[in-house]
Structure 1
Amino acid sequence: MKDHLDLTTYKQLAEKLQPYTESEAALNSFIINHFEELSYYGIIDLAQKARVSKATIGRYLNKLGFTGYAAFKSALKKELITHTMVSPIEANKSKQTNQVSDIKSEAQRYIGNVSQLIEQFSKDLNMENLESLAKMIMDKERTIYVVGPASSYALAIHFSTLLKYSRSNVVLLPLDKGDLPKALLGVSDKDVLIAFSYYRFNPDVLNITKLFNLKNAHVTVVTNTHSNPYSIYSDVQYVLPSDVDSIFHSRTIGFLFVELLLFLVQRESNGDDNFEELEELFKFFGTFSSLEFK
């Protein structure tokens, strides 16, 4: 049995088990496609997602050399620890030893790194999934719920604010446990949750994704790492590149994703939007004019 199990090692072990039964083939395919998420799955989650029985999982893992699912997850977690993102405090300590002598060169290097992220995002983006999400968002029989903890709140509020130009029934969820249950009253299987969560994972957001999953509502997660606990409950994930060799991971692609999605939503609206009504309300309240106060 392997103490640390990475994807390459798993594939080597699994290769020796061929030929697979139909259930084993399905399980193997799911494990390969979702390997970085597996440490967050319980055996019931894995069985449901891979559409196999718990008994099949047990037999398959025994063939791989693991005494059970707990041993398999332990090996996954040990491997995950070695690939955990560096926290800002650790990154800051390591940067303190490197004196920046040429600000212009460093700035150009950083901008170049962001440009590479944009290229990677463009190359990897599944446009069919994004178009499907845009159409779902413009279905006005649905309520669109948006959540984002900590630094991801900026993405959530930017998206939810501008989305209201295209449609009503947009709810920016609070993370105050006193207010959250009231904001979630009436969630149905028609509704959509879009959860933004970068780097560190929030237990309240995890519970929100779980609730929407239990309601059979659609869950889209926007994050920057495949290794995250939300995948168990999500229908679609967008894992956005963010590493720019800096203390903080870049949210640039997150905002690009938001604005691209808003562009596609507006394209789907065909003029059925809230621009005129909002403009009238802005005028009524003098929202963007100082003339009312003179």
Structure 2
Amino acid sequence: MSSPRYNTLPHHGRFGYSAIHQRPDFRWPDGKRLAVYLGFNIEHFAFGEGLGANLGPVSPHPDVLNYTWREYGNRVGVWRCLELFDALGLPAGTLVNTALYEHCPDVIAAFVARGDEIIGHGHTNAERQGSMPEEVERELLIDCRERILQHSGTAPTGWLSPWIAESPLTPDLLAETGYRYSLNWCHDDQPVAMHTRAGRLWSIPYPQELNDIPMIMGRQMDMKDFAQMIVDNFDEMLVQSLGQSLVMGIALHPYIVGQPYRLRHLRRALQHIAAHRDDIWFTTPGRIAGAMDERFPA
């Protein structure tokens, strides 16, 4: 008789196991097999308190070194990246902290003017939502959605939690407050339907390795190597997609890749992908979720 200690492990209950090669076949618009998107994270941080990525050793607040390094992204890096996206004609899935509407509204307005998708990314990355009580988390999701609608004209359909921090109820609350998809789960190369109290919520693949924070800041990878990583990932997924439709996201932050010496390498990587635009669907996460709704009605 087996020991109770080795019974079934706790499970999230949001979706079951599914092997990548055992699923219904489908194609993206125009018969494409590989969908590629930029997950461009524009963030604002509280001065003198809270969380934030760090360039150097963390100092007691006010941590001027790390705060101003991140703020470079909003003052300079974001505009350099925008010039690059414009030059290559690439859309962006723009993930925004709503605190930016007060701090530097011109930044978000520039992406809205391009027709880019605005995706909810909390009010500030100085805090996590995973430890919030249910009603406080619900209030955050509603406030961000309404604020984006008010200032940018379209309510967001997607969400990425600051620091990808979830409570056990986050998928339920997202579906209940009008969001159609989440970028928090990074477990697949195809969209996955998640069960929630309010019905289906799409999980759109979001990269945790093809992501400048864990690679460049966490693993201390040089940008030329990160750029090559983007190229290699794209080339391999282009081959893999001959057999089934896939999603490739690239997660970027302007205070990192907007630094001039890094931007040169990002340009090389994105030029490589743009040269294959006839072979791929370069899109946004919201359009991917919309395509899944069309192909797999609820």
TM-score (structure 2 length as normaliser)? 0.28
- Return the structure number with greater helix share: 1
Higher strand share: 2
Larger RCO, structures 1/2 (Cα 8 Å, 6+ apart) = 2
* TM-score normalised according to structure 1 size: 0.28
- Computing the radius of gyration over CA atoms, which structure comes out larger, 1 or 2? 1
